[in-house]
Amino acid sequence: MSPNLRSPLRTLFSSVCLTLAAVAQNAAPRPQLHVIHDVRLSDAADAPRHALVLRDGRIESVLDVAAELPAGARVIDGRGMLAVPGLIDAFTQAGFETPTPVAQQDDPPSEASDVYIDMRVANRKGIQPAFRAAELFNLAKDKSAPWRESGFGALLAAPSGQLLAGTSALCVTRETAARDAILIAEVFAHAAFRATGPGYPSTLMGYHAQLRQFFLDAAHHAELEARYTAGRPGPRPAHDEQLEAARGLVKRERRVMCEADSAQDIQRWIRLADELGLRIGIVGGREAWKVANELKTREIPVVLTLQWGDEPKDPNEKDKKAKKGEAPKEGEVSEKKPEAESATSEKAEPAQETKPEKKAEETKADDKKEWNYEEPLGVREAKRARWVEGRDCALRLHEAGVTFAFGSGSGNGSELLKKVRTLVENGLPADAALAALTSGAARLVGAEQHLGAIAAGRDATLALWTATPVKKDSKVAWLFVDGFPNEYEVKPEEKLEGKPDDGVDASGIWDCEVKNDQGPQKATLTVKMTPEGEVTGTLVTTGQRGERTVDVKGSVVGKTLVIEGSYTMRETEVTTKWKVELDGGSLKGSVTLRGPWGETTSEVTGERKPKWLEDEAAYEGEEACCGHK
């Protein structure tokens, strides 16, 4: 080859290589070919086993476990775990902040003019239906982790807090660039009886008037456009994206998801929808059960955000336990005398243990004890009943046949899943709860061709669970989002096996101190132990939000006491676990708190109250109950 020809060819070859390298560097990453072997597709113990082939972000095929597997694939041993479609959070504000609409979009009024008798032409406070969440969505890597760790493969990023806040986007939860995370750029329009900022409107009546005026303006704008296009008389229409965006809502091309918790607000949205010609759904829905029949008849779906608030203590808990035949907890007053006491009552009274006399300082301290107000029983019962009704709303909607899904709102996926599990524990069928997180949610957001089922052609967004996700002890071992894997360590639950050592009894009232970063915190642990080592009782702690009582249970093996309980704090579930060593009247060990933030471990020490102090506390409680001294 001529040297003169070789040089241009070498230059051309180098240019092609550089171009291909640049393209490869900028191209979106492709998931590896995976085969998930030996998985179940139903929660039945004898369910047939399958192999799932994942290629290019999709489920290529669902094979029998004995079928020949494709060459070159990375094989993951499913170990008989349950394969479940990636869960869907159907309403969240994660990934962006809803902007405040520009209220005034016309020329300011002249200061020299007379007083205006009507509102400004383009007062758009709370109005921005043209806003698209897809334009701002960018879920940080650390923010997306709580969804993935809980098996969520997709979330509906929804604007919130305005009369017409904008349009939501369906996004996947994997770590990727924003443009690769968006699955459906426009899903629902979102509305609420709220509008941030000063000025009109700021009341419920004003919100109604603002919405009516806006849709009247949208109809007028459409008429001006039609006349202008046809060359008919009339002014040229302004360029107004907000009025143009309203056209699709009036034509019922896009559903408007309306935030409402009370039954009254839900009915207000239904009447407005009839008046304005909108196709609506409900978000929040704490009292949706009160209008379940109307929601079913009108085919109005509900996205439940499960905002129950802190759980009020059941004022009749002791009576309910008594009917079930459960023994009263340590410190509770029981009119039934112990058998041992009855057996010896006819005999000579034994010498009583001498109680040490109280010091003057202790007497003064007792006199200064604060009197804590307790609401009347009827008030406490009513509060508890309202809370239970809100919690059980999903069960009532299921019974009525209303379409519903779940959304975390301002929370995250892990908090949402914990609340759904609470619903299942209180009567919601597990299959209905799982459908509201998978297939039902996928249909609602218009992604049933991609998500919500494990079948050939669907997106490779699925998880491997130790059991159905809506059961409390179920754990996720693998999550695939668009075919990209996330593996999680599944730690076996710590179960103590054995019996207490001779002479070891955890029963009693323990004054404890928990040492953490915020300083020492006082706690009172009141428990009762059976001869077999089973422990039940209550844990009372005092913090910034006052006194909190948590029911706990666990066991004693040897000299080790392990107890666990959970409570709700600011709409999130927190689990507390104590693991301590008993040494006569002392205990020492650790306290682990698990919440949406992760885990924190603190040191705990405690001393058991002397028996005579426990008896005195019970005696004083009996005096107060009987109303005499």
Q: What is the tens place of the pLDDT at every residue in 573-613?
A: 678 888 999 998 899 999 988 766 667 888 999 999 887 65
User: What is the CATH number for 466?
Assistant: 2.30.40.10
**Is pLDDT above 90 for 111?**
no
d(CA 300, CA 293): 10
The residue to which tokens 């899904």 are assigned: 405
In a domain, 239, yes or no: no
* Boundary residue ending a domain (420, 451, 482): 451
Instruction: State the burial class of residue 384 (Cβ atoms within 10 Å of its Cβ: 0-12, 13-18, 19+).
Output: middle
Indicate the residue type of 614: E
In a domain, 593, yes or no: yes
Maximum mean pLDDT: which of 212-216, 327-331, 498-502: 212-216
Backbone angles phi, psi at 494, to 5 degrees: -75, 115
107 vs 611, more confident = 611
Q: Are 470 and 524 in contact (CB under 8 A)?
A: no
SS3 per-residue string spanning 83-103:
EEECEEEEEECCCCCCCCCCC
In a domain, 355, yes or no: no
Q: 266: pLDDT confidence band, cut at 50, 70 and 90?
A: very high
* Boundary residue ending a domain (443, 461, 493): 493
**Is pLDDT above 50 for 337?**
no
Indicate the residue type of 199: G
Same domain, 488 and 442: no
| pLDDT, tens digit (0-9, with 9 covering 90-100), for 380-433 | 889 889 999 999 999 999 999 999 999 999 888 888 999 999 999 999 999 999
Note the residue count of the chain. 629
Q: 7: pLDDT confidence band, cut at 50, 70 and 90?
A: low
Indicate the residue type of 361: E
* Host domain of residue 585: 495-629
Alpha-helix runs per DSSP H in 47-196:
141-149, 178-181
SS3 content of the chain, % helix, strand, coil (to 5): 30, 30, 40
In a domain, 230, yes or no: no
What pLDDT does 324 receive? 59
| pLDDT, tens digit (0-9, with 9 covering 90-100), for 419-476 | 999 999 999 999 999 999 999 999 999 999 999 999 999 999 999 999 999 998 899 9
What pLDDT does 571 receive? 57
**Which residue, 547, 526, 544, is CA-closest to 535?**
526
Work out the mean pLDDT of the chain and round it to a whole number: 83
Q: 259: pLDDT confidence band, cut at 50, 70 and 90?
A: very high
Q: Are 314 and 384 in contact (CB under 8 A)?
A: yes
Q: 486: pLDDT confidence band, cut at 50, 70 and 90?
A: very high
Same domain, 282 and 307: yes
What pLDDT does 316 receive? 83
Same domain, 626 and 543: yes
Mean pLDDT confidence for 234-259: 92
User: What is the CATH number for 281?
Assistant: 3.20.20.140
What pLDDT does 24 receive? 45
Indicate the residue type of 224: L
Cα 593 to chain centroid, rounded: 18
Same domain, 446 and 537: no
Q: 624: pLDDT confidence band, cut at 50, 70 and 90?
A: very low
Q: Are 391 and 426 in contact (CB under 8 A)?
A: yes
Q: Residue 144: left if φ>0, alpha if ψ -120 to 50, beta else—which one?
A: alpha
For residue 542, the tally of other CB atoms under 10 A from its CB is 12
Q: 291: pLDDT confidence band, cut at 50, 70 and 90?
A: very high
Same domain, 437 and 540: no
**Which residue, 567, 562, 555, 558, is CA-closest to 578?**
562
C-alpha separations of 218 from 210, 227, 230, 240, 272 in Å: 12, 14, 19, 9, 16
In a domain, 438, yes or no: yes
The residue to which tokens 């139903």 are assigned: 42
The residue to which tokens 């919690």 are assigned: 391
Same domain, 268 and 164: yes
User: What 3-state class would DSSP assign to 262?
Assistant: coil
Same domain, 552 and 420: no
How many domains is the chain built from?
3
327 vs 105, more confident = 105
Q: Are 421 and 406 in contact (CB under 8 A)?
A: no
**Is pLDDT above 70 for 343?**
no
Same domain, 582 and 534: yes
C-alpha separations of 513 from 295, 551, 609 in Å: 51, 18, 14
In a domain, 99, yes or no: yes
Same domain, 625 and 514: yes
User: What is the CATH number for 530?
Assistant: 2.40.128.120
Give the single-character DSSP code of 312: P
**Which residue, 242, 300, 315, 247, is CA-closest to 276?**
247
C-alpha separations of 244 from 105, 129, 215, 339 in Å: 15, 9, 10, 81
Strand 508-516 relative to strand 560-569, pairing? unpaired
Same domain, 92 and 168: yes
Same domain, 44 and 97: no
462 vs 7, more confident = 462
**Which residue, 20, 37, 43, 38, is CA-closest to 434?**
43
Mean pLDDT confidence for 25-49: 85
DSSP assignment of 536-578: EEEEEEEETTEEEEEEEEEEEEBTEEEEEEEEEETTEEEEEEE
* Boundary residue ending a domain (493, 519, 548): 493
Q: Are 169 and 132 in contact (CB under 8 A)?
A: yes
Peptide bond before 469: cis, by omega within 30 degrees of 0? no
In a domain, 287, yes or no: yes
**Which residue, 508, 470, 475, is CA-closest to 493?**
475
Cα 407 to chain centroid, rounded: 7
Q: 151: pLDDT confidence band, cut at 50, 70 and 90?
A: very high
| pLDDT, tens digit (0-9, with 9 covering 90-100), for 167-213 | 999 999 999 988 999 999 999 999 999 999 888 899 999 999 999 99
In a domain, 401, yes or no: yes
**What sign does the dihedral 521-509-314-394 (CA atoms) show?**
positive
Q: Are 568 and 574 in contact (CB under 8 A)?
A: yes
Same domain, 426 and 511: no
What pLDDT does 599 receive? 72
Mean pLDDT confidence for 362-368: 55
What pLDDT does 283 receive? 97
